[in-house]
Amino acid sequence: RKVHLNNQNTVLQDCFKMIQVKILSIVIFTIFSLPTIKGTGRITPLSRPGATACLAENLRLTDRYICDSEGNVICVDGWSYPSKLCSEPICDMNGRGCVNGKCIHPNVCACEVGWDGPNCDECIPLGGCKHGSCNKPMECNCRPGWTGGQCNKPKCD
């Protein structure tokens, strides 16, 4: 009987090893093949070396891009440069961008000193300019009938 028990133990050990090998092969197949199956919607770092932008943790932290099923970054409306993770906002108000300023958020311009308006294309006249306008910041061009540094004196002809 002692010999029989040893044979039975050996058979059980062999079966156990075969089960371990099968489980390991299934795990390896799952890890390396799932990310490459098209249309699964699963994006993992294994699907594209160095592509971490499309990890769930990173997608939760941004509103600038989404990822397709192959791990490519796609900018949402208002953002550009997928290669830079859509870090550049787009300002396009009525076909014009920021004329005298910088686009800091989609359709939001930060104007240079002396400029105003949605596109930073409206100059700010000299302080106190009453009856005039400007072509560039801090000037006061008098309308007809007015004179003076601040266009506040009637012109008498």
d(CA 114, CA 136): 8
Structure tokens at 138: 């801090």
CB 129 within 8 A of CB 141: no
Judged by DSSP in three states, 13 sits in helix
The SS3 call for residue 46 is helix
The answer to whether residue 12 scores a pLDDT higher than 70 is no
pLDDT digits (tens, 9 = 90+) for 68-101: 888 889 999 999 999 899 999 999 988 899 999 9
pTM of this structure: 0.58
More confident residue, 105 or 21: 105
Residues in the chain: 157
Residue spans of beta strands (DSSP E) within the chain: 65-67, 73-75, 79-80, 88-89, 101-105, 108-111, 115-116, 122-123, 132-133, 141-142, 146-147, 153-154
| Number of helices (H), then strands (E), in the chain | 2, 12
- Cα distance between residue 13 and residue 7, in whole Å: 10
pLDDT of res. 5: 41
Predicted local distance difference test score (pLDDT) of residue 70: 86
Average pLDDT over the chain reads 79
What is the β-pairing status of strands 122-123 and 73-75? unpaired
Q: Where are the domains of the chain?
A: 1-36, 41-90
